[in-house]
């Protein structure tokens, strides 16, 4: 595991003491600022860790991105694309800053990570720090786990899938999710993982639409991530809080 640089350590420490003008969203447009998220993909494909940055202030912000390899599997490769430039794996910080107007959100090709498993199964953890180029005390981050296994295949188009947010969320004992899977499938599951990526529960969806009830009485309080997986394709990943 690589050590964080002093620069990044200062950013994390400062982030707890100063307000943050930037917010990070995942591919499902869920807020993952200062938290963890999981992206699952195929062992023989490039896995995209799509992220969006939102300017929550009343002024334009010029920001940059820093990539930190927390724990990366040997013989894999990762990099990031930012502001129209896809950097080589040797580059860990963006050379230029992106200007984001008040209330605006970056577009799909504005910022994302790329992970190449090179036929290596397992998980790699990478942190992406988004910081104000004019004030490094103003920053936010996301810890992204890239999970790779042999059963995963290409990601399918999820634009027609209906999958409600859990209600309630946060949850004390039980929560519910309404869903509609508008494609034929052999197997669909909802997998629940903790912050370090360990699977704690799995629910099989036997019907193409309905209401899924999650009984969480037997798991500890904390933050979890659930993924809808259809025939090996990860359709979406979202956050669930257990109180």
Residue 108 confidence class, pLDDT cut points 50, 70, 90? confident
Q: What's the pLDDT score for residue 14?
A: 40
CA distance 65 to 13: 17
CATH number of the domain that residue 44 is part of: 2.60.40.3880
Do 179 and 213 fall within a single domain?
Answer: yes
pLDDT at 1: 45
Range in 37-51, 141-155, 213-227 with the lowest mean pLDDT: 141-155
pLDDT at 50: 92
What SS3 state is found at 8?
helix
DSSP 8-state secondary structure symbol assigned to residue 14? H
Please report whether residue 156 resides in a domain: no
User: Same domain for 121 and 228?
Assistant: no
Instruction: Note the pLDDT of residue 131.
Output: 95
CB neighbourhood size of 221 (10 A) = 10
Instruction: Give the containing element (helix H, strand E) for 203.
Output: strand 199-204
- Do 102 and 56 reside in the same domain of the chain? yes
* Statement: residue 230 has pLDDT above 60: yes
More reliable by pLDDT, 46 or 224: 224
HSE, side-chain direction, 13 A CA sphere, residue 227: 25
Within-domain flag for 74:
yes
**Cis-peptide into 94, omega within 30 deg:** no
pLDDT digits (tens, 9 = 90+) for 113-168: 999 998 888 999 999 999 999 998 899 999 999 998 765 544 456 677 888 999 99
Q: Are residues 185 and 65 in the same domain?
A: no
**Does one domain contain both 180 and 237?**
yes
Per-residue model confidence (pLDDT) at position 42? 80
Integer CA distances (angstroms), 127 to 29, 37, 93, 161, in order: 18, 10, 12, 29
Residue 105: the pLDDT is 95
pLDDT value at 3 more than 70: no
- Per-residue pLDDT at 158: 67
Q: Could you identify the residue written with the tokens 């195929």? A: 42
Residue at 157 is within a domain: no
Same domain, 19 and 129: yes
* pLDDT value at 13 more than 70: no
Considering the domain architecture, whether residues 128 and 168 belong to the same structural domain is answered as no
67 and 186 co-located in one domain:
no
Residue 221's domain spans which residues? 162-242
Selected residue with higher pLDDT from 11 and 216: 216
145 and 231 both lie in a single domain? no
Least confident of 57-71, 77-91, 220-234: 220-234
Which one of 117, 149, 181 terminates a domain? 149
Residues 126 and 219 placed together within one structural domain of the fold? no
Do 81 and 56 fall within a single domain?
yes
Q: Are residues 191 and 109 in the same domain?
A: no
**CATH code of residue 223:** 2.60.40.1930
Mean pLDDT for 78-92 is 94
């Amino acid at each position: 595991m690589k050590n964080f640089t002093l620069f990044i350590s200062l950013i994390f420490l400062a982030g707890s003491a100063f307000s943050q003008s930037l917010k990070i969203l995942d591919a499902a447009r869920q807020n993952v600022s200062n938290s963890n998220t999981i992206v699952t993909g195929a062992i023989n494909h490039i896995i995209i860790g799509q992220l969006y940055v939102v300017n929550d202030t009343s002024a334009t912000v010029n920001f940059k991105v820093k990539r930190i390899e927390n724990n990366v599997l040997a013989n894999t490769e990762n990099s990031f694309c930012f502001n129209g430039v896809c950097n080589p794996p040797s580059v860990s910080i963006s050379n230029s800053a992106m200007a984001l107007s008040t209330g605006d959100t970056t577009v799909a090709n504005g910022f994302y990570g790329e992970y190449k498993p090179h036929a290596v199964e397992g998980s790699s953890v990478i942190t992406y720090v988004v910081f104000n180029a004019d004030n490094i005390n103003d920053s936010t981050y996301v810890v992204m786990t890239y999970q790779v296994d042999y059963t995963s295949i290409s990601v399918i188009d999820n634009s027609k899938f209906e999958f409600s947010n859990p209600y309630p969320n946060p949850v004390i004992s039980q929560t519910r999710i309404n869903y509609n899977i508008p494609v034929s499938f052999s197997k669909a599951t909802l997998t629940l993982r903790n912050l370090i990526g360990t699977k704690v529960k799995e629910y099989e969806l036997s019907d193409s639409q309905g209401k899924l009830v999650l009984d969480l009485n037997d798991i500890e309080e904390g933050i979890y991530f659930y993924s809808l997986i259809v025939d090996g394709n990860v359709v979406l990943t979202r956050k669930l809080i257990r109180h």
